[in-house]
Structure 1
Amino acid sequence: MITLKVDRDSSGKITGFLMEGHAGSGPHGFDLVCAGVSAVSFGALNAVEKLTSVELRVRQSPGGGFLQCSLPMDSGAGDLGEARLILEAMLVSMQTIEESYGKYIHIFDKGGTDHVET
């Protein structure tokens, strides 16, 4: 199972996330949940990099199954807001995946509402 843990500051603004695990919804190379989650998460990171001046702190495992991202708190307020909006959009897409494939992905949103496995 993939777990996505969202971190937020005291005012509820997203500060980063940690994603771990493997979906296991199909054979390696044919796992549609894994492909969807990977496309959404890396698409969001690439969008932050291309569309803002925010330099994300990203760690990942070469073998997959681990992705951690945090926003630097020293970025300009405007760009940081844009980066947060992109990460919130990523979360909405992940929640959509979780609604259909809750057996393979679970989201923990600190400061938000945890989503129930289906």
Structure 2
Amino acid sequence: MIKVNFKRKSGNLVSVKLKGHADSVSEGYDLVCCAVSVLSQSILIGITEVLKLKANYSIDDGFLSFSLENMSANDIKKSQVLMETMLLGLKKIEISYGEYINIFLEEV
């Protein structure tokens, strides 16, 4: 099961943590895990390499976490289109494959 935790502060998504594996297939390629990985890593690349913002992040097997909380309010605003896109994309995956992914949104 993949658990995704988003944090929203003052109306802005400021962090996300993804942990676990979908284990949606017993053999072969796990398309749910792949979709979640590609989406989340692409958003991080958009923030760090396209927008050139300095997000704090950590990536490991079955784990990805990044935070925008160290950024200026202006930089957090710049990243919101990507962050909201990630949230919506993951929610769409959850609608179809909810037994493999759970999304939580916390207001802080």
Compute the TM-score of the two structures, normalised by the length of structure 2. Answer: 0.89
Which string of whole-angstrom CA distances, capped at 9 and with x for unpartnered residues, describes residues 36-92 of structure 1?
00010001011112221311101122xx11111001433361x32121221111111
Q: Which runs of structure 2 are paired with 1:1-118 in the superposition (5 Å)?
A: 1-9=1-9, 11-27=10-26, 29-61=28-60, 64-75=61-72, 77=74, 79-111=75-107
Of 43-52 and 68-77, deviating more is: 68-77
Of 79-88 and 34-43, deviating more is: 79-88
Compute the TM-score of the two structures, normalised by the length of structure 1. Answer: 0.82
Which string of whole-angstrom CA distances, capped at 9 and with x for unpartnered residues, describes residues 1-54 of structure 1?
000000121x23111111101100014651000000001000101111222131
Amino acid at match of 2:96: S
Aligned-pair identity in percent equals 35
| Two-structure CA RMSD over aligned residues (Å) | 1.6
Between Structure 1 and Structure 2, the one with more strand by share is 2
> In 2, Cα distance between the equivalents of 1:74 and 1:36?
28
